[in-house]
């Protein structure tokens, strides 16, 4: 089986820890046959400030260095996690146009759009249940807008992102509540109709089974392409939850996962 982790970060991310080559070695030790490095390029910083500039030079140099010492049997792709493209679509497109040849673009939302000064979701005080619900409404509507920018992503990332921090604060909230299935469905339908992918993000092995209802909803809407990523920022987390996510995909009726090269999906049996 072609086992691929398509969401990982290296020193080229502000929250990364090791060079791309070390992440590749970790992937080899974990028994993976595919790895994609998808370092952050976010149009908003953690505090909500607009960050329109991105230097591709270090990314390309690090990737070339990793490729030169690639472990045998490992396929290494170059990607990017493009955050908050909805904030300035033309800026996002310009950044992608200036990139070295990319295999894969992850589209993500990390920040509030209309609340909390556009800060990253992780920084909010979720002891306030009303804020949790307002945050999820903000987030899901923003995801839908991002899903419509089909040239700015190949897969829609970590839909469970704000829930990570709400649950750490002890809140029992999920996407089955209120009108969240309808809000999420609008985003998933855009992804499916555009022939784009949905990401199962295992959050370094901590979230797998939680994806089941989202995957079934995506499939019912005609979704075909699914990618899997650990969101690893350290070597010890590379590949965590990927095999389990593949098993979940099979149980949800998917027979293939998508691996991207030159921003085109290649279907691999699972």
The structural domains of the chain, with segments of one domain joined by +, span 4-269
H or E segment and range at residue 123: none
Of the candidates 172, 182, 171, 106, the one whose C-alpha atom is nearest the C-alpha of residue 137 is 182
pLDDT tens digits, the chain, 270 residues: what are they? 999 999 999 999 999 999 999 999 999 999 999 999 999 999 999 999 999 999 999 999 999 999 999 999 999 999 999 999 999 999 999 999 999 999 999 999 999 999 999 999 999 999 999 999 999 999 999 999 999 999 999 999 999 999 999 999 999 999 999 999 999 999 999 999 999 999 999 999 999 999 999 999 999 999 999 999 999 999 999 999 999 999 999 999 999 999 999 999 999 999
Calpha distance 169→143 (Å, rounded): 23
Instruction: Assign 3-class secondary structure to 145-207.
Output: HHHCCCCCCCEECCCCHHHHHHHHCCCCCCCCCCCHHHHHHHHHHHHHHCCCEEEEECCCCCC
H or E segment and range at residue 84: none
pTM of the model: 0.97
Tell me the pairing of strands 256-261 and 104-108.
Answer: unpaired
CATH architecture of 4-269: Alpha-Beta Barrel (3.20)
Of the candidates 102, 12, 38, 28, the one whose C-alpha atom is nearest the C-alpha of residue 232 is 38
Calpha distance 78→73 (Å, rounded): 17
Q: In the sheet where 75-83 sits, what is the strand order?
A: 4-8, 34-42, 75-83, 104-108, 155-156, 197-201, 225-229
Give the pair of three-digit tokens for residue 218.
């995506």
User: Contact at 8 Å (CB) between 50 and 30?
Assistant: no
Tell me the pairing of strands 104-108 and 225-229.
Answer: unpaired
Tens digits of per-residue pLDDT, 60-110? 999 999 999 999 999 999 999 999 999 999 999 999 999 999 999 999 999
């Amino acid at each position: 089986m072609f086992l691929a982790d398509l969401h990982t970060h290296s020193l080229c991310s502000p929250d990364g820890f090791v060079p791309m080559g070390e992440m590749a070695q970790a992937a080899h030790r974990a028994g993976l046959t595919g790895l994609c490095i998808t370092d952050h390029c976010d149009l908003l910083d953690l505090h909500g400030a607009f960050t329109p500039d991105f230097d591709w030079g270090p990314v390309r140099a690090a990737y070339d260095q990793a490729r030169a010492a690639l472990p045998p049997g490992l396929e290494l792709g170059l990607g990017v996690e493009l955050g908050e493209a909805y904030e300035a679509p033309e800026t996002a497109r310009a950044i992608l146009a200036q990139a070295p040849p990319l295999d894969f673009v992850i589209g993500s939302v990390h920040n509030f759009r209309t609340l909390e000064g556009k800060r990253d979701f992780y920084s909010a005080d979720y002891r306030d249940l009303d804020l949790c619900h307002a945050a999820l409404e903000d987030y899901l509507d923003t995801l839908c807008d991002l899903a419509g920018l089909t040239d700015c992503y190949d897969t829609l990332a970590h839909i469970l992102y704000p829930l990570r921090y709400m649950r750490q604060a002890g809140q029992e909230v999920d996407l089955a509540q209120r009108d969240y299935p309808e809000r999420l469905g609008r985003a998933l339908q855009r992804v499916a109709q555009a022939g784009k992918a949905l990401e199962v993000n295992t959050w370094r092995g901590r979230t797998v089974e939680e994806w089941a209802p989202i995957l079934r909803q995506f499939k019912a809407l005609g979704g075909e392409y699914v990618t899997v990523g650990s969101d690893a920022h350290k070597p010890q987390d590379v590949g965590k939850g990927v095999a389990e996510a593949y098993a979940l995909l099979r149980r949800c009726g998917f027979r293939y996962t998508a691996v991207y090269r030159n921003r085109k999906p290649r279907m691999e049996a699972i």
